[in-house]
Amino acid sequence: MKVVVDMNKCQDHGQCVFAAPDVFSMDDDGRLVYVSDPDDALRDEVEEAADVCPLQAIRIEG
């Protein structure tokens, strides 16, 4: 599974961090960082993260 976040859209709401803390986190400056090739076992939580993104900036490929 490949995760792509459109950083032009992302506004650092952080909702994805609650949904998938193993994949998304905020750095010390409050900016999003994420794992771009998470294990497939995390698919459900990544899909949840994509759903709850206010800017709909998260895309899951494969």
Partner 1 sequence: MTGRVVVAGASMGGLRAAEQLRTAGWTGAITVVGDEPHMPYNRPPLSKEVLAGKAPFASLAFTPKAAAADVEWRLGTKAVAARLAERTVVLDDGSQLPYDGLVVATGMRPRRLRCPGPLAGRHTVRTLADAQGLRDELTRPGVRVVVVGAGFIGCEVAATAAGLGVREVTVVDPLALPMVGPLGELLARALLKRHEERGVRFALGTGVAGFEGEERVTGVVLSDGRVLPADVVVESVGSVANTEWLDGNGLDLADGVLTDGQLRVGGRPEVVAVGDVARFPNARYDGVSRRVEHWSIPTDTAKHAARTLAAHLGGSDVDLAPFAPLPTFWSDQHDFRLQSFGAPALGLGDVRVLDGDPDGDVLVGYHADGRLVGVVALGGQSAAMGAARYRAQLLKQPALTA
Asked if residue 21 binds partner 1 (CB under 8 A), the reply is: no
- How far apart CA 48 and CA 46 sit, in angstroms, is 5
Residue choice 2, 7, 12, 43 for contact with partner 1 (CB under 8 A): 12
For β-strands 58-61 and 2-5, DSSP reports them as antiparallel
Tokens of 2: 């490949």
Asked if residue 22 binds partner 1 (CB under 8 A), the reply is: no
Q: Shortest approach of partner 1 to residue 39 CB, angstroms?
A: 19
Q: Which positions touch partner 1 (CB under 8 A)?
A: 9, 11-15, 17-18, 26, 30, 47, 51-52, 54-56, 59
